[in-house]
Structures are given as C-alpha cells and as structure tokens.
C-alpha cells in the first residue's frame, strides 16, 4: 500500500483528477499482491502437510518393512524345520526301502522252496500213479 505521503506526491504530480486511475491501479495491485501472498501461504501450508504425510508414510513403511523382515525370518525358520522333517522322511524311506528289499528276498526264497515242493509233489504223484496203475502191477510181476 502506498503511504499518505506517496499518495499526495502522485496527486501533486498528476493532478487530483488524473491521479485517481493511477491510485486505483496501485490499490488493485496491492490487493492482488495480498491475495497472492495469501494463496502462497495456503500452498505452503498444504506443502507442509504433505511433508508431514510423507514422514508418516516413511514411518509406516519402516514398520511394514520390519514386519516383513520378521515374517521372512519366521518363514526361514519354518523352512528349516521342513527341511529337517524332509530329511527324516528321507531316512525313513530308505529304511522302508531296505525292509521291502529284505521282504522281497525272503519271498523269493519261499517261492523257490514252494517250487521245489511242487516238483517233489509232482514226482510223488507220478510215482503214486505208476504204482497203482495196472501196467505197473504187470511190470512188477514180470520183474519177480
């Protein structure tokens, strides 16, 4: 705003009638400058709030990152447990595999034994049939 002395100096220089538009122009410029100052202040306040929001966001991001690290560590521990459990299952499977192989070998032995018994049984059946057949009786009579 123009001071009183400045207004009087403009009126003296231009005259009272000619100085009115110039003084109105200065007043309009002063109002415009004040409005722009107020607008800049509002923008600065908004900017400050945005910076506070950024700080809050950084804090919540740090918390989220820490939570993720904790969860990742828990998953790593759980994975180690699963790895140990899997190794135990692998050992049990190897043991079971050995047991199955032993059982299969035992069954093979029993099957061979049964094959032998069947051969003996077939031989006995042949002997029995030949002993009780009429031809065998005739052959025995001839041999005596």
The parent domain of residue 117 ranges over: 4-143
pLDDT at 3: 78
- Contact yes or no for 76/68 (Cβ under 8 A): no
pLDDT at 64: 94
- Contact yes or no for 23/10 (Cβ under 8 A): yes
pLDDT at 49: 63
Count: domains in the chain: 1
The number of residues in the chain equals 144
pLDDT at 143: 77
Q: For the chain, what is the total number of helices (H) and then of strands (E)?
A: 3, 0
pLDDT tens string for the chain (144 positions)? 677 787 778 778 778 888 788 878 878 888 898 899 998 888 777 777 677 777 888 899 999 999 999 999 999 999 999 999 999 999 999 999 999 999 999 999 999 999 999 999 998 988 887 777 777 777 777 776
Q: What are the backbone dihedrals phi and psi of residue 133, each rounded to the nearest 5 degrees, phi first?
A: -85, 150
Is the four-CA dihedral 67, 68, 73, 77 of positive or negative sign?
Answer: positive
């Amino acid at each position: 705003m123009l001071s009183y002395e400045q207004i009087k100096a403009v009126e003296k220089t231009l005259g009272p009638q000619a100085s009115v538009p110039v003084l109105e122009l200065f007043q309009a410029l002063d109002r415009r400058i004040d409005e722009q100052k107020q607008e800049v202040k509002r923008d600065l306040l908004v900017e400050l709030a945005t910076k506070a929001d950024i700080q809050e966001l950084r804090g919540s991001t740090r918390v989220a990152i820490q939570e993720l690290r904790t969860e990742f560590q828990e998953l790593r521990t759980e994975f180690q447990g699963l790895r140990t459990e899997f190794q135990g299952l692998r050992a049990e499977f190897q043991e079971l595999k050995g047991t199955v192989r032993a059982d299969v070998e035992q069954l093979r032995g029993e099957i061979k034994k049964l094959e032998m018994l069947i051969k003996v049984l077939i031989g006995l059946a042949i002997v029995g049939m030949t002993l009780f057949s009429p031809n065998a009786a005739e052959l025995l009579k001839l041999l005596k």
